[in-house]
Structure 1
Amino acid sequence: MELLLKGVAIGIGATVLMDLWAIVLWKGFRQSRPNWAPVGRWFWHLKNGTVFHDDIGKASPYANELALGWISHYAVGILYGVILALFVGDAWFAAPTFLPAWILGIVTVGAGWFLLQPGLGIGVAASKLPNANTVRILNLVAHTVFALGLYGTALLIR
């Protein structure tokens, strides 16, 4: 049970750091802020068995999609933290290293590229967007920041 709680803690810490990174990009570099409403709409439509949309904006709206998007964002971050905790075990928490967290962070980019982005209708790895390469680079950087959050939070709780 303690291992699961540590996984939850590092997942929350990593997601918070990722959100702080998004604020830095928004305030310092004028990148658009993440909009979790389409993600909430996508999660809402999963209950009907609809995974892939041509355009999530044309799917039926859900009144609480922004809240559901934020909840989903943190739930996925926590899930990734728990997965890392179960994979590395107590020994890693006694002496955390960055590499396992970074490997997980990079691997999880795949969920966005091959599930979420096509599900939203923007193509595999954002291929339907005019700035697809920029989106891909930002995804890799954001998930590296997430990995730093996993690692940093593990250092804090040891």
Structure 2
Amino acid sequence: MDHSLVFYLRVALLGIGATLLMDFWRYLLFKSMGVISLDLGLLGRWVGHMFRGRLVHQSISKSQAIPGETLLGWVSHYAIGITFAFLLPIIWGEEWLHEPTFLPALIVGLGTVFAPWLLMQPAMGVGVAASKAPKPSQVRVRNIAIHTVYGLGLFASALLLKELYFMGNK
């Protein structure tokens, strides 16, 4: 198989695995404590409005609904997870995929929290780092936690992919 195809497939699977772990974490929090996180339909609404030329909203929940916004939100959620996974080989080199270490994955995971804090939340009307949310500190702690889980997911997925790759090449 072409090396570049394997590379892109491996990073895509890395991002999908990490995003799946985030979703599992969100599910556990909801089932065990009733914690509701970002409605991916609202993410889809925001993305849908971007395609129509509107990035910033007073309140995304009050903006006009977009047909298929929930599906668009889920697709966007995974596309973002895959895109951020590319930071690992970009910053630490392709070798990281072959010999993954924990710290780079954690750094990327925690670093991705700046995307919602500085772009998504302000554009959706919640302010920088959820400053306009009813309980901004709670939102920030949940953001840090979920992005830490994403980092753990990057590392765990990389280890799993490494093991599967070597199993197939023995």
When the two chains are superposed, the root-mean-square deviation of aligned CA atoms in Å is 1.2
Where in structure 1 are there 5+ consecutive unaligned residues? none
Paired position in structure 2 for 1:108? 112
Q: Which has the larger radius of gyration?
A: 2
The code of the aligned residue for 2:96 comes to W
Equivalent position SS for 1:137:
helix
- Identity percentage of aligned residues: 43
The correspondence for 1:151, drawn from 148, 155, 169, is 155
> Structure 2 length normalisation: TM-score?
0.88
Paired position in structure 1 for 2:166? none
The correspondence for 1:82, drawn from 72, 86, 109, is 86
- Does 1 or 2 have the higher relative contact order (CA < 8 Å, sep 6+)? 1
Aligned pairs, how many? 158
Paired position in structure 1 for 2:168? none
CA spacing shift, 1:58–1:33, aligned 2, 3 Å: closer
How far does the alpha carbon of each residue in 1:61-93 deviate from its partner, in whole angstroms, 9 at most, with x for none? 112111101110000001111232333233212
The correspondence for 1:73, drawn from 69, 73, 77, is 77
Paired position in structure 2 for 1:127? 131
The correspondence for 1:91, drawn from 84, 90, 95, is 95
CA distance in 2, matches of 1:26, 1:58: 24
Post-superposition shift, 1:58? 2.4
Where in structure 2 are there 5+ consecutive unaligned residues? 163-170
> Structure 1 length normalisation: TM-score?
0.95
Paired residues of 1:12 and 1:74 also in contact (CA < 8 A): yes
